[in-house]
Amino acid sequence: MNLVVFSRAWGSGSRQARPSPAHHLGHNLSQIAKTLRSTERSTMNITQQKTACGCAAAAARNTKRTAYVAFGSNLGDRVSMIEQACKEMDARGVKVKRTSSLWETEPMYVLEQDRFVNGACEVETDLEPLSLLDQLQDIEKSMGRRKLIDKGPRNIDLDILLYSDRKVGHERLKIPHIGIPERDFVLRPLAELIPTKVIYPSKPWKLVQDYLNELPPASEPLSTLTPICSSVAALNALKANRKTQVMAILNITPDSFSDGGIHTPDSLRGTVLSMVRGGATMIDVGGQSSSPGTPEVSVEEETNRVLPVIELIRSLPETRGVAISVDTYRSSVADAAVQAGADIINDISAGQLDPAMLSTMARLGKTVCLMHMRGTPGTMSKLNDYPDGIIPTIAKELLERVAEAEAAGIRRWRIILDPGLGFAKVGEQNLHVLRHFNELRTWPGLEGFPWLLGSSRKSFIGKVTGVPKPMDRIFGTASTVAAAVQGGADVVRVHDVVEMGQVVKMADAIWRY
């Protein structure tokens, strides 16, 4: 209840109502509450503004930008150095999204030094250009780089070529990199990644590919480099005088279409040694038949078949210079085989039959062979319709497999391709692939990859020659191997190593010079 008392107003004879102390107290509390509410609103506005600014700053920090980084090495294990640098970038939050092939090049500027391995990668980063440069230089330092001579020998070299569409003119960093237009070993990897990108905004009509096309022809054309293992020379898919590698087939299965059940524990050592003496530089060990209608064995059975063979090959002094390939589409078998000493993972499904295969390949870091196939071994023969043409379709589907492999983290320089003769292809279709194999090799996006061809003893040879037994198809196989070499194959996968080794030597003498 409000109490009101009447008193004489100062300086006036009238009587007025005067608030009591209690009223003053209520009024003051009301004003205080209003002030507090006003202050709270102001504080909230300030907080909201700070939060908004903080979110904007965080968003700016978390904005992923695309940059292109060049790498090179000419000391030590050059490929290993580059792969370690890529792992370091990933570990520091500079995500390597795609890589070019590796290109082996002669040194520039300082000529008295070993050949370089060069390439480039597309990275995703939230670092600003100078911060990215700091990270790359710290990676070089952590890997033991010592810059004694400008443009001289180095175990690892990392340079920012492009950063989003930015131009940077800092004393430490110039973007676009000043050396791009004159360097074949920079333009060629960039042209694999971004052939239609503009380098200089002032010349929007001129693309990466245009700069590459303007370079004068080199005395010796550059070639890609695909590592196999320390004891087997890398594949140089674009080198005209390269030697064709012979991959020997060693099926440890009772039901393979051609050689099932003939390899026993007692005969294996002699079989392996005869393959090496016949000229095999690779041995492909398989524990699961891919013939149509053949039942799948368990993972344990397949593993138990291939591991002892890999261990045997690794134990023989005579086979120290041979690479071991494991023929499997199961990730756990591939993992176990690599731990036992395999150098190559040869997957007929290119990662399609086991969802964990591509990520496993990426983690293991070995060279892989991705073959073109459709469906499964049991269904592939019915999936042989190619209305858009067999070569364009194989190219399109292999480009998809390559993209999936790269997205999983498999480096481009670790990929071998296989057109998959006899897999989702019947009769004449296989002959068409052989006739037009060079067209497939040079298909846009597939240039520079090495290729493996496996025609040995297959049914399309039997249909043409009229030879029903696979083991008797040696002469027909020899013709397909010669055709494969002429078309540009880098590896031929064969059963009859001695005979096909001679065919390869003769074919190389004719076409690889």
Active site residues: 458, 493
Distances (CA, A) of 14 to 2, 6, 492: 22, 10, 121
Q: What are phi and psi of 233, to 5 degrees?
A: -60, 145
Per the CB < 8 A criterion, the answer to whether 502 and 475 are in contact is: no
Per the CB < 8 A criterion, the answer to whether 491 and 235 are in contact is: yes
Q: Using the structure block, give the residue that is written with the tokens 């194989």.
A: 394
DSSP 231-262: TBPPB-TT-TTPPPEEEEEEE--S--TTTTT-
Distances (CA, A) of 187 to 179, 211, 311, 480: 10, 7, 43, 36
Distances (CA, A) of 407 to 1, 81, 323, 359, 362: 78, 22, 27, 9, 10
DSSP 421-452: TTSS--THHHHHHHHTHHHHHTSTTTTT--BE
Give the helix/strand (H/E) hosting 123. Answer: strand 116-125
Q: What's 106's DSSP letter?
A: -
Distances (CA, A) of 37 to 31, 170, 228: 10, 51, 73
Distances (CA, A) of 180 to 11, 78, 264: 94, 22, 57
Position 177: which residue type?
H
Other Cβ atoms less than 10 A from the Cβ of 118: the count is 27
Give the separation between CA 5 and CA 443, rounded to whole angstroms.
103
Q: What's 205's DSSP letter?
A: T
Distances (CA, A) of 452 to 397, 427, 493: 16, 20, 7
Give the separation between CA 402 and CA 408, rounded to whole angstroms.
10
Give the helix/strand (H/E) hosting 282. Answer: strand 282-286
Contacts of 289 (CB under 8 A, 6+ apart): 251, 253, 255, 256, 257, 260, 377
Q: Which of 484, 488, 481 is nearest to 512 (CA)?
A: 488
Compute, in degrees rounded to 10, the torsion defined by CA atoms 272, 277, 281, 282: -20
